[in-house]
Structure 1
Amino acid sequence: MKWGLYVVLIIGVVFAWGKFAAAGSRIEETQKKWEEVHNSGEDPDQANKLKGEVRSAENDRTMMGVLLAFMSTGLIGIVVVGHVLPMLAHRVTHAVYDSGEEVEADPMHDARSKVAQGDWEGAIECFRQAAAAEPLNRLPWVEISKIQLEQLEDPHAAVQTLRHAIEDQEWQENDAAYLMFRLAEVYDTKLGDRGSAATTMQQVMEQFPETRHSANARHKLHEWGLV
């Protein structure tokens, strides 16, 4: 009976780890797709659908995290109380250690854990570490600015974050344009500084002439009555 319970719990932990990791990958992939569609402005319905998928994946990952914590705690408690044979304890220790190593290989893992805990400053620091580990991944900077805007209500800090990201790295065209559009959005909607927003759009047009990014920037300036 006791051994059967061990087996069930171990299988449950492994299953939960797999689902937890898969949800994290799905979040990142869908988030990038949403950013592309949202930035292009060509298909708002698709953008909304992708955003819903991101939220759904985040909810799934949170539920898996709770289940994983519950089952892990139960397994550890039974091991301690039941005085499992040293060999089994050794294997469990290695399993937990190996799982930890796999998580650490994902630079975004710790940051998302901090977000789930509501530790905004801790999450920002972890996202900065993720950005250092993956310099060509714009997502950490986007997440930092999002926390600063929505959780810390500090749009000036979000502007500094986005400007630093734009100026500190040689981005690919789509990534650079996205960050610049995001910066212009913060200037215009959060700080009421349309002049700086317009200047950013002009920079997009100058940096990426004859591209859809330039066309989108010109369209935005037209909406503002500046061209």
Structure 2
Amino acid sequence: MTKWILYLVFAAAIAVGWTMFMKSGEGEQQKLADEIARIDKNGTLEELETLPSLKDNLESLKSSKSLTGILMAFLTAGLVGVVFVIDVLPAIAHRLTHAVYDSAEMVEEDVMHDARAKMAQGDYEGAVGAFRDAAAQDPMNRLPYVEIAKIQREHLHDSQAAISTLREAIEGQAWEVNDAAFLMFRLAEVYDEDLNDRMSAATLLQQVMDQFPETRHSANARHKLHDWGVA
């Protein structure tokens, strides 16, 4: 509140300054200009001798007013700049940020809400269907596939279905490196933990190393294979 009071005080002061500037010297300049014109046209010899001095005075008044105008312009621009930088610009950035994040949250809420609601109700088959709908709406989002595979493993006790889901996801999209590697690790996990098929899991980890060399995913796969004792 104090900040805005200061803004109002400065704005009022600047407004008064502009009003005084517009009125300052008008009568004196006009009077002096008229006097110069009269002397130049019909002045006596003595008056003509004062003409250069009068003209200098007129130019001085004009220059003084011009400098005052420049100063007032700088003060006005300074106040506007301060308000813009301190208040307007952050407000715009805040709105844009919220617009982006709120939009992202709305998308996730829209596509994932029904599936999570069915999960909470214990309707796991319905949740799988809802997550599939979410995947269709946002095909480059790996989360629906991961959630489906998790439901199939932990609640429906169908590891083969989880394998099919993850393979469908891996083969169905041109994923970014992080997403592709994540899905391949999850698939290897199902083979190793649910089916005790370590060789299939090791083959997947080797694919990670081959497809994404010189990445942390390759290093993680190599470390896991070392722990398993697989060359």
Q: Give the TM-score range, shorter chain.
A: 0.5 to 0.7
The number of aligned residues is 129
Match of 1:202 among 202, 206, 211: 206
2:176 aligned partner: 172
- Structure 1 residue 222 displacement after superposition: 0.5
Name the structure, 1 or 2, with higher relative contact order (CA <8 Å, separation 6+). Answer: 1
CA distance in 2, matches of 1:213, 1:105: 30
1:141 aligned partner: 145
TM-score scaled by structure 1?
0.54
**What per-residue deviation string (whole Å, max 9, x for no partner) do you get for residues 83-132 of structure 1?**
xxxxxxxxxxxxxxxxxxx7996100110111011111110000000001
CA distance in 1, matches of 2:176, 2:137: 17
Structure 2 runs not aligned, ≥5 long: 1-100
Q: Which amino acid aligns with 1:143?
A: E
Change (3 A) 1:200 1:165: same
2:154 aligned partner: 150
State the Cα RMSD in Å.
2.1
1:109 aligned partner: 113
2:223 aligned partner: 219
User: Of the two, which has the highest radius of gyration?
Assistant: 2
8 Å CA contact 1:103, 1:109 repeated in 2: no
SS across alignment from 1:152: coil
Structure 1 runs not aligned, ≥5 long: 1-24, 30-101
- Structure 1 residue 164 displacement after superposition: 0.6
CA distance in 2, matches of 1:103, 1:126: 14
Structure 1 runs of 4+ off > 3 angstroms? Answer: 102-105
Query: Percent of aligned pairs with the same residue?
Result: 69
Change (3 A) 1:129 1:212: same
1:89 aligned partner: none
**What per-residue deviation string (whole Å, max 9, x for no partner) do you get for residues 170-225 of structure 1?**
11110100000000011001100001000000110011001000000011110110
**What per-residue deviation string (whole Å, max 9, x for no partner) do you get for residues 54-94 of structure 1?**
xxxxxxxxxxxxxxxxxxxxxxxxxxxxxxxxxxxxxxxxx
